[in-house]
Structure 1
Amino acid sequence: MKTMTCKQLGGACDMEFSANTFEEIADLSKNHGMEMFQKKRFRPSKSNGRDAKSYEVSKWNAGLV
């Protein structure tokens, strides 16, 4: 099981998501983002021009997360 934060996934807060696969973490993050958007607490972070998902998947696969 691995853990990533909302910020690591391109979000705006430090909420942590734990799961066995990146896809499960992505689903948790997506649901969190939709919930925050509905509560009007959503503020997308800057991605610095990179594709956040492919970057985080590569870190996940390399065991860096």
Structure 2
Amino acid sequence: MKYLKSFLAFEWITIIGASTVLYTRWDFPLSVCIGLVVLGVILTLYFTKKYEKKEEKKTLDNV
């Protein structure tokens, strides 16, 4: 899980940076940029919960 947390931090920096560049330099609508960030939040939460359940199942199987 320690490697996943560092990846998530890098992912968030990338998503927020890309959204900022899209809004400021390429004149994308703010709603599109916010939508990308919300999509990132949803996908991150979904895959994190899925991964945690998988790890929990492995832990329970080993006991």
More helix as a share of residues: 2
Q: TM-score, normalised by structure 1?
A: 0.42
More strand as a share of residues: 1
Q: Which has the higher contact order (CA 8 A, sep 6+)?
A: 1
Which is higher, the Rg of structure 1 or of structure 2?
2
Q: TM-score, normalised by structure 2?
A: 0.43
